[in-house]
Amino acid sequence: MNPETAQVTHDFPSLFRVYDNGQIARYQEHDFVPPSLDPKTGVESRDVVISPENNVSARIYLPKTAGGGGKLPLIIYIHGGAFSIQSAFSSLYHYYINELASESGSIVVSIEYRLAPEHPIPACYDDSYAAIKWVDSHAGAGQGPDPWLNECADFERVYVAGDSAGATISHNMVIRGGFGFKFSGLILIHPFFGIGEPNKLWDFICPDTIGPQDLRLNPTAHLDHLSKLGCERVLVCVAGKDSLRERGWNYYQKLKNTDWEGVVEFFETHGEDHVFHLFDRECENSISLMKRIVSFIKG
């Protein structure tokens, strides 16, 4: 088939288009920023390969407070992007995670997973799980492959955080469990928990879905599912102008009404839209959101 005559068969504006010749074109490709010693925050970063066969990797961030005599909290971060765009290695996330590591005084492991639609769901879930199992190999005796995690990470203070689709995956990781450590907290930033009705994007990138009640997308579909959350504390952050705001609020309310024994907190940024903090990290509301997340981690 002549590529010039290919026809669009599926179109998801701002994300990607699919053509009848199998070609996939994203509306905007992410950039790439190499790991570095950040001059602004003093945070040092480097990349590790976790699963070469599936291109699963991560970027580890070490704050300048490391080596000060005590171990540091560990944050596992899962980026957003509707399961189909963005990267842990893009400038959007690299500079944000530098600030998160610096402000919270935490080691951060930012996961790079395979994207849909080339790799349909559950690839991003399975990749994230594999990455966390790799992190888990450093717990206990501290004999994992990465010296930063062995020497500096406190596996009594492990948090998993994510924004948008990354928050959806983060919730799934805490439910799934099976790690040698217990998560101290779950941080959901503008979570994407579906739209409460059939979702064309989800149906396309998740071939085996059962629809709006799929717990991988909509964790509030069954309250007994929520009650199995394997952590002690949850922070749900929403933005007032975000179309997904009510989905986050619904999660918060339903989690409170289960027999889960942890504590759930809610933080709303009024007048802002979805993941605004990634695009303007210096604005007052972004600074306020960062402070709220940091206070949750420092407990």
**Which residues form the catalytic set?**
164, 242, 274
111, 128 in Cβ contact below 8 A? yes
Q: How does DSSP assign 37-86, residue by residue? A: B-TTT--EEEEEEEEGGGTEEEEEEE-TTTTSSS-EEEEEEE--STTTS-
CA distances from 155 to 41, 68, 104, 132, 184 (A): 24, 17, 16, 12, 9
Reply yes or no: is the peptide bond before residue 117 cis, omega within 30 of 0. yes
Cα 194 to Cα 21: distance, rounded to the nearest angstrom:
29
Say which DSSP state 221 is in: G
Per DSSP, what are the bridge partners of residue 235? Answer: 187, 265
278 φ/ψ angles, rounded to the nearest 5 degrees = -75, -25
